[in-house]
Amino acid sequence: MLNKKEQRLRRARQTRIRIAKQGVARLTVHRTNQHIYATVISEDGAKVVATASSVEGELRGSVKGGTADGASAVGKRIAEKAKAAGIEKVAFDRAGFAYHGRVKALAEAAREAGLQF
């Protein structure tokens, strides 16, 4: 029987297989109780193009990563960095996390800031 973490990683693996077939950059999210992290990975999966998190100096003092507001701030920041790197279209990789709460807030903020997925 799989434990909670193994179940999440199994779901993540299935998602990444489907995303690899699409041939687009991947916006992946990782969430902990205290913080939220977002990373844009290139089409071939070989290079990290942009990262943003609630741990960054600019965001750390102004928002809490464990809240939806903090996740929205990280979503806006990752969209800005991805667009600056020339990436407009991404596939959203929620890494096995449920699409609600902070994960959903990050995704919606990134969409509003101009990323397409």
CA 56 to chain centre: 15
Domain count, the chain: 1
The answer to whether residue 83 is domain-embedded is yes
The answer to whether residue 117 is domain-embedded is no
Residue of 1 and 112 predicted with greater confidence: 112
Structural domain containing residue 9: 4-112
In this structure, what token pair is assigned to residue 112?
A: 């509003």
Q: Is 30 exposed, middle or buried (0-12, 13-18, 19+ CB in 10 A)?
A: middle
- Per-residue pLDDT reduced to its tens digit, 68-115: 999 999 999 999 999 999 999 999 999 999 999 999 999 999 999 999
- Per-residue pLDDT reduced to its tens digit, 44-67: 878 999 999 999 888 888 888 889
Separation between Cα atoms, residue 44 and residue 42, nearest integer Å: 6
CATH assignment of the domain containing 101:
3.30.420.100
CA angle (89, 31, 1) in 5-degree steps: 110
In which band, very low, low, confident or very high, does the pLDDT at 19 lie, cut at 50, 70 and 90?
A: very high
Helix ranges (H only) for 23-101 are 57-60, 68-84
